[in-house]
Copies of this chain bind each other. A is one copy, B any other.
Amino acid sequence: MSTIRVTVWNEFVHERTNPEVARIYPDGIHEVLARALRQQEGFEVRTATLGEPDHGLTDEVLRQTDVLTWWGHAAHADVRDDVVARVHARVLEGMGLIVLHSGHWSKLFKRILGTSCALCWREAGERERVWVVDPGHPIAAGIDRCIEIEQSEMYGEPFGIPTPDDIVFLSWFQGGEVFRGGCTWRRGSGRIFYFSPGHETYPIYHHPQIQRVIANGVRWAVPQGRPYDTPRKTPIEEAREPIVFRAPSVHDSRGNLAH
């Protein structure tokens, strides 16, 4: 198997402003995720954060990234629109994308999915149980019936997403809610996995099974085919079946649209 190049992106704000979060993630959420992913065979992992030039997501970095993971919460609005557009385009070309927890509210996720991506939430430190609903899915590999998370932020329905291709996990919350917390979509040639657990005030990304799901997601999201390479004018003389031009037309002789 060839190398999987992963870039772990993190806004890296709360770890530097909130003592509780700093205690759990002294080097940032990205470092905990990157360390976990580096233990996977064949993974080559780098990190990038909001504060770096271009948020660390230059064209070159993206071209060298097979799968990007995204965590943000406090600073969605600070992510530059042109960087969002660049990442969006790269996903359509085939780069995998793993959106984590509050990343549901990022510009990027909303741009790609085209819906509100809104949800209900409650930060009470309650219990969450993440159920496998699709045992045959590779993202569920190695996970038993469910993952128990003793303290979590509640995310609840209705979640404003397009119908997922696959629902891998559904979450149960102590306070009475349910949530489609593990969903996949394909957009262009790219694969997208959203995974909801991961509130920064709890040590969720230290949980081995959560790390396993994210690693599974990365493997699943590796580019599989080639980019879509449309649109393109198809000249009449190159038609697969012989045809001749029949008037009228709004295009000039070069095929450009006349106004």
A contacts, CB < 8 Å to B: 1, 13-14, 17-18, 20-21, 73-75, 88, 92, 94, 105, 111-116, 118-126, 129, 131-138, 140-141, 146, 148, 151, 154, 156-160, 162-163, 165-167, 170-178, 180, 185-190, 199-201, 223-236, 239-241, 243-251, 255, 257-259
Contact = CB atoms under 8 A, between A and B. Distances in A.
Contacts of A249: 20, 123, 125, 201
B170 A129 contact: no
A188 B116 contact: yes
Contacts of A156: 131, 234
A236 B186 contact: no
A225 B172 contact: no
Main secondary structure of the interface of A (DSSP, over half): loop
Nearest to A104: B231
B245 A125 contact: yes
Contacts of A259: 13-14, 17, 74-75
